[in-house]
């Protein structure tokens, strides 16, 4: 699968797929997709909605309450008036002025009109004085004459209408009816003014909300914008510009994670640059030697055959070396791939090590070096035989290369329930403590001249370590200068594959 973003020549390369995604996201970055806009809208909605609900529900409720209270007041007053009429013998013509004065006062207090009707449906008194002496035969009047109290609210006129029977004290006889009409325009006015107050408050709050939410949205989105800018800068190849965002802990975490990623990318970039310069230097060296040898042959005339042959042999050595470096580089590139590229099978590790030693014995014999194999048990493991063969060959070859004449290389194999362990110990020149960490780096050689003499490229241990890591294993070195070195490798007996099926592709015995 092609990578979306990678580094090439110090520049972060964005593949066309990644660019497409980027363009798409930029498009979305238009006004409608802006986080700021949605934050503002959300904040306004959250603040304003309760106000609107309050305005609708609470105001209606208040109006209902005030109206009910007014109706009760009118009803109470009508009962008092009814008692007063009965006690003062009003219908017989007694105390009429007193009752009328009282009625007028109450009618104007409640912004209304009061009518007294006798049993003949004659209007005895109208506080407006327009219907006096006339007849009123409305439904309410008839019902009230029957002893029923009628309460009504006429929403069109905004009027409360009340019809109350005037009964004797023992309630046995209806003497007449009181009709009470009262306008509730004052209640509506109160509610309207509360409503306008709410409107003003809502408007002011909307304004405050917009300002506040813009500030808050800015507070939230500014750090994100800075992160986005920094990523853009990183994409242009600037790995030095860390971001330092203060404020919310989540933002600080983003900033810390970003800086950590930046640091890692910087390291990757530095090691890539170092690798590229090492590769070009290593590849150039044999070529330069070939050129010098060829030039000096060209410049001389009548070169004696022996000299010519000697030079040609040197050229062949350099070409072989160039070939070796390229082969090692290719192996290394292959090992850089993920562990899913391992070709896992059940491998008899004893057989594999014995085969390697058999192959290397003639080379060791040339330097009078003894190769010893010691196995504590038979070990069978799930691993990539070809790759592990290469890793152990590198270690044993090094034991021979960096040894003294007449020395030894001991390979031992052991296992527990989880891992197998291979130790490659030699009686060689050893590695100074200060270099022991570096020997696994690509192209690192403690003694360049010696490594070159023995055909080393400085890539062997890097390849070996990569192979072991691909197997989820570990490698460590114990060494003392002039005494010898021991490389200890630990590999799991069972391969844990990414797909979880154990990763065994074929089963060789």
Smallest distance, ligand ADP to C-beta of residue 478, A: 11
| Residue 213 touching ligand ADP (CB under 6 A) | no
Which structure tokens are listed for 47? 């603040």
Smallest distance, ligand ADP to C-beta of residue 335, A: 13
Among 164, 422, 439, 489, binds ligand ADP (CB under 6 A): 439
- The residue among 455, 454, 456, 458 whose CA lies nearest residue 442 is 458
Q: What sign results for the dihedral spanned by CA atoms 243, 248, 253, 258?
A: negative
Smallest distance, ligand ADP to C-beta of residue 342, A: 21
Closer residue to ligand ADP (CB): 473 or 484 = 484
Among 90, 181, 239, 402, binds ligand ADP (CB under 6 A): 402
| Residue 446 touching ligand ADP (CB under 6 A) | yes
Neighbours of 115 (CB within 10 A): 23
Which structure tokens are listed for 28? 């979305």
Q: How many residues bind ligand ADP (CB under 6 A)?
A: 23
Among 209, 457, 495, 503, binds ligand ADP (CB under 6 A): 457
One symbol per residue from 255 to 284: x for binding ligand ADP (CB under 6 A), - otherwise; what is it?
A: ------------------------------
Quote the CA–CA distance of 106 and 164 in Å, as a whole number: 16
Which structure tokens are listed for 318? 């350099």
Neighbours of 134 (CB within 10 A): 12
- Residue 126's DSSP bridge partners are 115
Neighbours of 387 (CB within 10 A): 22
Closer residue to ligand ADP (CB): 5 or 326 = 326
Quote the CA–CA distance of 438 and 362 in Å, as a whole number: 30
Smallest distance, ligand ADP to C-beta of residue 490, A: 18
Beta strands 370-375 and 408-415, pairing class:
parallel
Quote the CA–CA distance of 461 and 458 in Å, as a whole number: 7
The piece of 32-40, 120-128, 292-300, 429-437 that touches ligand ADP (CB under 6 A) is: 429-437
Closer residue to ligand ADP (CB): 119 or 454 = 454
Closer residue to ligand ADP (CB): 352 or 429 = 429
Q: Rounded to 10 degrees, what is the CA torsion of 365, 366, 368, 372?
A: -30
Smallest distance, ligand ADP to C-beta of residue 302, A: 40
- The residue among 347, 399, 402, 339 whose CA lies nearest residue 373 is 399
For helices 185-235 and 59-87, the axis angle rounded to 10 degrees is 170
Closer residue to ligand ADP (CB): 60 or 481 = 481
Closer residue to ligand ADP (CB): 402 or 408 = 402
Smallest distance, ligand ADP to C-beta of residue 379, A: 23
Which structure tokens are listed for 102? 């009282």
One symbol per residue from 360 to 399: x for binding ligand ADP (CB under 6 A), - otherwise; what is it?
A: ----------------------------------x---xx
Smallest distance, ligand ADP to C-beta of residue 235, A: 35
Smallest distance, ligand ADP to C-beta of residue 390, A: 12
| Residue 456 touching ligand ADP (CB under 6 A) | yes
Smallest distance, ligand ADP to C-beta of residue 20, A: 42
Helix/strand/coil (H, E, C) string of 141-186?
Answer: HHHHHCCCCEEEEECCCCEEEEEEEEECCCCCCEEEEEEEEEECHH
Mapping DSSP to helix (H, G, I), strand (E, B) and coil, where does residue 425 land? strand
- The residue among 195, 190, 199 whose CA lies nearest residue 48 is 199
- The residue among 433, 424, 426 whose CA lies nearest residue 468 is 424
Closer residue to ligand ADP (CB): 199 or 280 = 280
Q: Are 371 and 396 in contact (CB under 8 A)?
A: yes
Closer residue to ligand ADP (CB): 124 or 395 = 395
Closer residue to ligand ADP (CB): 299 or 449 = 449
Site residues for ligand ADP, window 91-120 (CB under 6 A)? Answer: none
Half-sphere exposure of 98 (CA within 13 A, CB side): 10
The piece of 61-69, 279-287, 305-313, 427-435 that touches ligand ADP (CB under 6 A) is: 427-435
Smallest distance, ligand ADP to C-beta of residue 365, A: 18
Which residues are near ligand ADP by CB under 6 A? 394, 398-399, 402, 426, 428-431, 439, 444-447, 451, 456-462, 485
């Amino acid at each position: 699968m092609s990578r979306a973003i990678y580094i090439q020549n110090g520049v972060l390369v964005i593949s066309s797929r990644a660019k497409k995604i980027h363009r798409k996201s930029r498009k979305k970055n238009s006004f409608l997709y802006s986080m700021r806009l949605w934050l503002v809208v959300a904040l306004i909605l959250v603040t304003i909605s309760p106000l609107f609900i309050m305005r609708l529900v609470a105001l209606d409720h208040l109006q209902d309450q005030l109206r009910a209270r007014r109706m009760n007041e009118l009803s109470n007053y009508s009962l008092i008036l009814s008692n007063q009429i009965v006690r003062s013998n009003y219908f017989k013509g007694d105390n009429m002025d007193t009752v009328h004065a009282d009625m007028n006062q109450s009618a104007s207090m409640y912004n209304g009109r009061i009518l007294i009707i006798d049993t003949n449906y004659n209007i005895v008194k109208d506080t407006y004085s327009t219907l006096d002496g006339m007849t009123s035969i409305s439904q309410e009047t008839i019902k009230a004459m029957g002893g029923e109290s009628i309460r009504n609210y006429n929403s069109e006129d905004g009027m409360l209408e009340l019809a109350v029977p005037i009964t004797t004290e023992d309630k046995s006889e209806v003497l007449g009816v009181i009709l009470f009409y009262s306008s509730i325009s004052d209640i509506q006015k109160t509610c309207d003014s509360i409503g306008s107050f709410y409107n003003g408050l809502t408007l002011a709050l909307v304004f405050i909300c917009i300002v506040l939410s813009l500030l808050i949205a800015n507070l939230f989105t500014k750090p994100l914008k800075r992160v986005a800018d920094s990523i853009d800068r990183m994409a242009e190849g600037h790995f030095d510009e860390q971001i330092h965002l203060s404020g919310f802990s989540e933002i600080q975490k983003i900033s810390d994670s970003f800086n950590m990623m930046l640091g890692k990318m910087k390291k990757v970039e530095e090691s890539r640059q170092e690798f590229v310069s090492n590769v070009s230097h290593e590849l150039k060296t044999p070529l330069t030697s070939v050129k010098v040898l060829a030039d000096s042959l060209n410049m001389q005339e009548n070169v004696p055959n022996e000299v010519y042959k000697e030079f040609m042999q040197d050229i062949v050595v350099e070409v072989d070396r160039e070939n070796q470096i390229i082969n090692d580089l290719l192996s290394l590139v292959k090992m850089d791939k993920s562990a899913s590229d391992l070709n896992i099978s059940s491998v008899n590790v004893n057989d594999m090590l014995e085969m390697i030693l058999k192959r290397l014995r003639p080379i060791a014999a040339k330097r009078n070096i003894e190769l010893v194999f010691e196995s504590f048990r038979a070990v069978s493991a799930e691993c990539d035989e070809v790759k592990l063969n290469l890793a152990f060959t590198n270690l044993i070859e090094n034991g021979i290369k960096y040894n003294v004449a007449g020395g030894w290389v001991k390979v031992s194999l052991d296992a527990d329930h989880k891992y197998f362990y291979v130790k490659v110990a030699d009686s060689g020149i050893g590695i100074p403590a200060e270099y022991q960490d570096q020997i696994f780096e690509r192209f690192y050689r403690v003694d360049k001249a010696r490594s070159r003499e023995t055909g080393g490229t400085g890539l062997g241990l890097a390849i070996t370590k990569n192979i072991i890591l691909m197997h989820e294993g570990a490698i460590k070195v114990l060494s003392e200068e002039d005494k010898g070195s021991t490389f200890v490798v630990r590999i799991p007996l069972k391969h844990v594959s990414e797909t979880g099926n154990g990763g065994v592709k074929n089963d060789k015995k």
